[in-house]
Amino acid sequence: MKRDFKVTFLGTGTSQGIPIIGSDHPVCLSTDSKDKRLRVSVLLSWGDYNYVIDCGPDFRQQMLTNKVNRLDGILFTHEHSDHTAGIDDIRPFFFRQGDIPIYAHKRVVKSLKKRFDYIFETKNRYPGAPAVAINYVDKDMVMELGGKTVVPIEAMHNRLKVLGYRIGDFTYLTDVKSMEDEELEKIKGTKVLVVNALRIEPHHSHFNLEEALDFANKVKPEKTYFTHISHLLGFHEEVEQSLPDNVHLAYDNLSIQI
């Protein structure tokens, strides 16, 4: 069967990553490589195209580990630092390719302009600064990227609106706590779903494990992968064994074909 594109999980951890600095929690002390999680991001690759969803503080390390030498764009889910703080490290791509396209809600672009003003400066630019080509995204639009249709999906991260993305039979969501029914309808028919599952106990702005399982049961994809995982979810292998057969914990550098 012909595969449409490849998804590589660049990072599957929550905002502090695993291990947490200075923590003596058993999961943080684990020697299992699957328990070591960088900040959450995925790489989508097809043909000569490479797009990433989110660009956190581990972006440079993730690009080097996966030998990515071209970047066609960054799709942002929201403005929190664990999803945006690596944007300065687009510089090597910018020096080779020129302005790097970014795709984000207007609110997110406003935040990026405030925090990384030198990237968006149009006059008296610092010569070593990267530059981006801004593409605004909202839930009611459909995009074409590299010959593929991309559908934004809106969800709530507590009171903050965030965007996920559906590309063909693949849907990527993170930092979700709730979703309106009309947005859920956009996901129906997805064969592979990626969604956050932070921990066992409830959380004010993220699905916990039970909520993530319930959400997957509503969508009914062929396979579900959980991401944005904290040490409080438990050891990778133990949690993996407790999940339904078609539900898995993602881990850093896992690649799947869609």
CATH of the domain at 206: 3.60.15.10
Question: Mean pLDDT over all residues of the chain?
Answer: 97
Residues 50-92: pLDDT tens digits? 999 999 999 999 999 999 999 999 999 999 999 999 999 999 9
Task: Check residue 15 and give its pLDDT.
Answer: 98
With 0-12 CB in 10 A as exposed, 13-18 as middle and 19+ as buried, what is 200?
middle
Stretch 140-162: mean pLDDT: 97
d(CA 137, CA 54): 14
Residues spanned by the domain of 54: 6-257
Residues 187-243: pLDDT tens digits? 999 999 999 999 999 999 999 999 999 999 999 999 999 999 999 999 999 999 999
Check pLDDT > 50 for residue 137: yes
Domain assignment present for residue 110? The answer is yes
Domain assignment present for residue 96? The answer is yes
Check pLDDT > 90 for residue 7: yes
Task: Check residue 156 and give its pLDDT.
Answer: 98
**In 89-176, alpha helices (H):** 91-97, 106-115, 117-120
Domain assignment present for residue 1? The answer is no
Check pLDDT > 90 for residue 3: no
With 0-12 CB in 10 A as exposed, 13-18 as middle and 19+ as buried, what is 14?
buried
Question: In DSSP terms, which residues pair with 43 in a beta bridge?
Answer: 8, 52
Domain assignment present for residue 108? The answer is yes
Check pLDDT > 90 for residue 1: no
Stretch 115-120: mean pLDDT: 96
Domain assignment present for residue 162? The answer is yes
Distance of CA 102 to the CA centre of its chain: 14
Task: Check residue 124 and give its pLDDT.
Answer: 86
Question: In DSSP terms, which residues pair with 222 in a beta bridge?
Answer: none
Check pLDDT > 50 for residue 138: yes
Percentage of the chain lying above the pLDDT 90 cut: 96
d(CA 77, CA 56): 11
Stretch 112-120: mean pLDDT: 97
The number of domains in the chain is 1
Query: Do residues 156 and 222 lie in contact, with contact meaning Cβ atoms separated by under 8 Å?
Result: no
Check pLDDT > 80 for residue 111: yes
Residues 173-203: pLDDT tens digits? 999 999 999 999 999 999 999 999 999 999 9
pLDDT band for position 2 (50/70/90)? low
Domain assignment present for residue 81? The answer is yes
Check pLDDT > 80 for residue 252: yes
The backbone torsions φ and ψ at residue 203, rounded to the nearest 5 degrees and listed phi first, read -135, 150
Judge if pTM exceeds 0.95: yes
